[in-house]
Amino acid sequence: MSQNKRIYLDYAATTPVDPEVFEAMRPYFAEKFGNASSIHQFGVEAQEGIVLARRQVADFLGCDSKEIIFTSGATEGNNTIIKGIGSNKNLTGGKKPHIIVSSIEHDCVLGSAEYLKENDLAEITFLPVNKEGLAEIGELEKSIKDNTVLVSVMYANNEIGAIQPAREIGALIKKLNENRSQKIYFHTDAAQAVNYLDCDVKRIGADFMTISAHKIYGPKGVGALFVRQGSPFSRLMNGGEQEFKMRAGTHNTPGIVGLGAAIEKVKKQGSQIEKTKNQRDRLISGIFDKISGSALNGSRDNRLPNNANFRFEGVEGESLLVSLDMEGIAVSTGSACAAKSLSPSHVLLAIGLNHLQSHSSIRFSLGRLTEDSDIDRVVSLMPKIIERLRSISGNLEGGTVERGKLPDDFGC
């Protein structure tokens, strides 16, 4: 490995715990360690931390504190909503429910939908996206059926950073519900969105929203689920009466406190978003200027400020990842949850890439600790790495591709 400073550009996978967040959590490990369900003073101290965190999350999402359920993360929240609403025949008068999920959802959403389908519990429509990775309102409206109970479209994609038209989806569902006896509920996975986008649930029109602490410089293993008051809910975790009897299990008090503190930091990040966006654009421009046969996956404009997902003709993504790692630079070939899979990314296939193009792709995701010098180092190293990998693969014929231009069959 190079002796230079290590550079972390995989913030979409996870983020380091912010020092201020860690300090907020610290007392709840050893000093205020009580079980929040206990009525003695130790329990009361723990409960006070949870109450504050619930208020912090609710204020950020623009909802009531009673509409926040703490979970172990976005995976649990997504499973709870998809399986709970999607299998609830009471909502459809005994008829099999129909749910719509976008084709680029996180594996925990797609897996939950597949579970319902395989067990004959629900009809599933996998909503296609366009070549930029965006769900189209017209396609969604055409997919609605009389027995549709749930639409689940993530706010922003974890692989290509595509920002979905969440408000337009919420507005469409609200309009459709005016003339329906069977209400449609709207769920959005906002795990990647919280750092960068307006997550006010009223403005979006969401009935359910999932977030995760470790994507916003908080601890791993904790998240929150927004459930609009009056919406149907089936608890996934049975046992005690925690979380308004909606999610059993002893509270992860330090983690919950950390989530609240992390949300507070997001509220106060100021110019950080613009700084990250400028660094991302610097990376994109640098790559395009220096490396022929390169292309950006997903929308150029409707993408998260920290995301740049490239494909490089004649280069295998895993080889590029390893080569960068040997230089002390951490990136990803897609979702961290599927990092060990040899299958092509379902997200990249959904936007029209073929298997070869998918396997030639790599994701850079920037964060608060990213420096301009980090971007400059990556841009300076990439041409030699790409050249070496292409010479090994032999897929680029004599280096004849013009810089910034791709063969007709390489683009999507």
Closest CA to 256 of 216, 221, 215, 209: 221
Looking up tokens 């997504």, which residue turns up?
Answer: 78
User: And the tokens for 74?
Assistant: 């976005």
Strand (E) or helix (H) holding 296: strand 294-296
Phi, psi of 304 (to 5 degrees): -60, 145
3-state secondary structure of 202: helix
Amino acid at 40: H
Between CA 60 and CA 55 the distance in angstroms is 9
Strands 98-102, 123-127: pairing kind:
parallel
Cα–chain center distance at 239: 29
Sheet of strand 294-296: strand arrangement: 294-296, 307-312, 361-365
Active site residue 412: no
- What are the tokens at 323? 């080569």
3-class DSSP assignment, residue 154: coil
d(CA 106, CA 334): 11
Choosing from 63, 108, 337, 412, the catalytic residue is 337
Catalytic residues: 337
